[in-house]
Amino acid sequence: MNVPILQMRGITKTFPGVKALQDVTLDVNRGEVHAICGENGAGKSTLMKVLSGVYAHNTFDGEIRFEDEPCAFSSISDSEKRGIVIIHQELALSPYLSIAENIFLGNEIASRGWVDWRKTNLEAAKLLARVGLDENPVTPIQHISVGKQQLVEIAKALSKKVKLLILDEPTAALNDEDSDHLLDLILHLKGQGVTSIIISHKLNEIRKVADAVTIIRDGRSIETLRLDQGQITQERIIRGMVGRDLDSLYPERTPQIGGEVLRIEGWTVQHPQDHSRTVVHNASLNVRAGEVVGLAGLMGAGRTELAMSVFGRSYGRAVSGKVFKYGKEINTSTVPQAIAHGIAYATEDRKHYGLNLIEDIKRNISMAALSKLAKRGWVDKNRETAVANGYRDSMNIKAPAVSAITGKLSGGNQQKVVLSKWMFSDPDVLILDEPTRGIDVGAKYEIYTIIAGLAAQGKAVIVISSELPELLGICDRIYTLSAGHVTGEVPISEASQETLMHYMTQEKE
């Protein structure tokens, strides 16, 4: 039954000054779904790049055997010839090309250099049927959702006669429903004999699909847990990943809640392009000093849209409604005004909207409140460095110096830089949009501690999150959104995943 398809032995890969992988062992059996877990920077992606030939065989030590034959890949095309296909976290699709063109990109169905379009579209349609995607193959990729694009990637892999499919955080950008479909598809392909390796942070997903879990920590393979031996449990995986037991996933805190800081009334937002769509309907909510308020909702519920439209009309058009701070109406129609009124918004997409990745830590931290460091328009750079050093220490940002480039930091450390930036702007209200997205378990705990600390200082905190356990773990009160409506307001004492989900799926006309 357990026939090995892939054996990696003693894999060691060094970059100048860093040992990224050290003596890693990975055994994958034919026809199983094998999860790889580990904190960000543990070496998971590096290991997959070694396997798929992104790093040529002579740049690392160790042995790879696939289907009982040694492998020496020099490029991705070498590994693809053997049936090993990797799907990266950031999809490799060309937005303006059609689904069919993307599927056969670099692998065109052609004779003498001329593409056979009829056959291309026909074959594409067959592949789409295999992944359960009901779309016309000539539709441009940009017109289908991210979830469907992910399925197109898998169809592309199938076109290459995949035997071993590697998925790097496939559900990171997907909503729950699309994630479920994808996981079902992986199980479906397993039934057809396709072996999968899936890299994921989401432990519930791993429990759903994985037959085995290999844990990587600090560039070493720690252990392989097997489902048939009853070893795959959340506690066991977390312990392996962080190297210790997490007594609690969330820090203890005793909320000390004061008066109302921010109140939003009758907030309505139209879609920026599609004028017939109302993204947020007549939403009202409030947050008090020292309180952590959660915004729960499925994808498309309008959480980010609500937050960003309040924060300087950064989203949407025809925004209407009132914002009150300490009971007085305020104008937050531009970002500088919102910041001046003590509102901060830390985006869910820190790479595209939160950080200047080519700039260093200190300049990112000072970006939103540079005038605090300046006299008559001139910045005191020494004070800036001192301020940044202060945050590096207090927030535990792991970097050699505050002159380190933020693009090179891990997700957790980048998030700490974003939080430092907004803490330095000294807000009264912080809106944190998916503050732990793409962050490993250990760093998540640190972010929760920071949030608790902010509340303890008397700040009003709004947390937007797709992970209900997270909201239940850190919030004092949770609003639910469904299709742009506020459908519920639940104090933490009455909140459970079931009640929240009930409100989150409630329809309002």
Partner 1 sequence: MSALRESLGFLASRLRQVGIFLALILIVLLFQILTDGILLQPQNVTNLVVQNSYILILAIGMVMVIIAGHIDLSVGSIAGFIGAVAGVMIVHWGWPWWAAIPACLLVGALVGAWQGYWIAYVGIPAFIVTLAGMLIFRGLTLITLKNQQITPFPDELRALGGGFLPDISGGTSVLEWLTVLLGVVGTAALLFQSVKERRIRRRLGLENEPMAWFATKTAFIALLMLAITFLLASYRGTPIVLVVLAVLVVGYSALMNNSIFGRHTYAIGGNLHAAQLSGIKTKAVTFRLFVNMGVLAALAGLIFTARLNSAQPAGGTGFELDSIAAAFIGGAAVQGGIGTVAGAMIGGLIMGVLNNGMSILGLGTDYQQLIKGLVLLLAVGFDIFNKNRAGGSSSIAKRFTFRTAPPAAEGKVPAPEAVSAADPVAPGVGR
Ramachandran quadrant class, 53 (left: phi over 0; alpha: psi -120 to 50; beta: rest): left
The DSSP line for 278-323 is: EEEEEEEEEEETT-EEEEEE-TTSSHHHHHHHHTTT-S-EEEEEEE
Q: Are strands 195-199 and 164-168 parallel, antiparallel or unpaired?
A: parallel
Pairing of β 260-270 and β 317-325: antiparallel
Among 151, 295, 471, 495, binds partner 1 (CB under 8 A): 151
CB 136 within 8 A of CB 144: no
The tokens of 145 are what? 């959702």
Among 13, 49, 148, 341, contact with partner 1 (rule: CB under 8 A): 148
Q: Which stretch binds partner 1 (CB under 8 A): 145-153, 193-201, 232-240, 468-476?
A: 145-153
- The residues with which 288 forms a beta bridge, in sequence order, are 260
Tokens linked to 259? 């008066």
Backbone angles phi, psi at 184, to 5 degrees: -60, -40
Q: Between residues 4 and 132, which has the closer beta carbon with respect to partner 1?
A: 132
- Residue window 271-290: x/- pattern of binding to partner 1, with contact defined by CB under 8 A: xxxx----x-----------
Report the nearest approach of partner 1 to the CB of residue 222 (Å): 27
DSSP state at residue 425: T
Q: Judged by CB, which is closer to partner 1: 384, or 440?
A: 384
Asked if 253 is part of the footprint of partner 1 (rule: CB under 8 A), the reply reads no
User: Three-state DSSP class for 499?
Assistant: helix
Q: Residue 459 interacts with partner 1 (CB under 8 A)?
A: no
Instruction: Read off the tokens for 474.
Output: 């850190």
Stretch that binds partner 1, among 49-57, 146-154, 157-165, 288-296 (CB under 8 A): 146-154
Minimum distance, C-beta of residue 191 to partner 1, in the bound complex (Å): 7
Instruction: Select the residue interacting with partner 1 from 60, 73, 267, 311 (CB under 8 A).
Output: 311
Q: Does 222 bind partner 1 (CB under 8 A)?
A: no
Q: How many residues bind partner 1 (CB under 8 A)?
A: 84
Minimal distance in Å, beta carbon 462 to partner 1? 16
Query: Binding segment for partner 1 among 62-70, 245-253, 267-275, 448-456 (CB under 8 A)?
Result: 267-275
CA separation for the pair 284, 321 (Å, rounded): 9
CB closer to partner 1, 174 vs 443: 174
Q: Which of 3, 110, 146, 456 binds partner 1 (CB under 8 A)?
A: 146
160-199 residues near partner 1, rule: CB under 8 A: 173, 175, 177-178, 181, 184-185, 188, 191
| Binding of residue 430 to partner 1 (CB under 8 A) | no
Min CB(241)–partner 1 separation in Å: 26
Token pair of 509 as six digits? 């006309």
Query: What is the maximum span of the chain, computed from C-alpha positions, in angstroms?
Result: 75
Among 76, 105, 144, 227, binds partner 1 (CB under 8 A): 144
Please say which residue, 264 or 346, places its beta carbon nearer to partner 1: 346
Figure out which of the listed residues 83, 170, 312, 438 binds partner 1, where binding follows CB under 8 A: 312
Cα-Cα end-to-end distance for the chain:
54
Find the binder of partner 1 among 308, 451, 452, 460 (CB under 8 A). 308
Cβ neighbourhood burial of 272 (10 Å; 0-12, 13-18, 19+):
middle
Q: Is 40 in the site for partner 1 (CB under 8 A)?
A: no
Calculate ∠ Cα 201-398-393, nearest 5°.
125
Rg (CA), the chain: 24
- Residues numbered 87-126 forming contacts with partner 1, rule: CB under 8 A: 91, 93, 95
| 1 lines the binding site for partner 1 (CB under 8 A) | no
Residue 354 or 412 with smaller CB distance to partner 1: 354
The SS3 assignment for 159 reads helix
**Interface residue with partner 1, options 49, 160, 303, 416 (CB under 8 A):** 303
Distance of alpha carbon 82 from alpha carbon 67, whole angstroms? 9
Out of 46, 52, 121, 149, the residue judged to bind partner 1 by CB under 8 A: 149
Determine, following the binding rule CB under 8 A, whether residue 318 of this chain makes contact with partner 1.
no
Distance in angstroms (rounded) separating the CA atoms of residues 342 and 316: 22
The DSSP output letter for 351 is I
Q: Which of 25, 282, 314, 396 binds partner 1 (CB under 8 A)?
A: 314
For partner 1, the binding residues in 334-393 under the rule CB under 8 A are 335-336, 338-339, 345, 347-349, 352-359, 363, 366-368, 370-371, 374, 377-379, 381-382, 385-386, 389
Beta strands in 328-458, from DSSP E residues, in sequence order: 328-330, 343-346, 374-375, 378-379, 429-433
Closest to partner 1 by CB, 17 or 230? 17
Please classify residue 327 by burial: count the beta carbons closer than 10 Å to its beta carbon, then call 0-12 exposed, 13-18 middle and 19+ buried: exposed
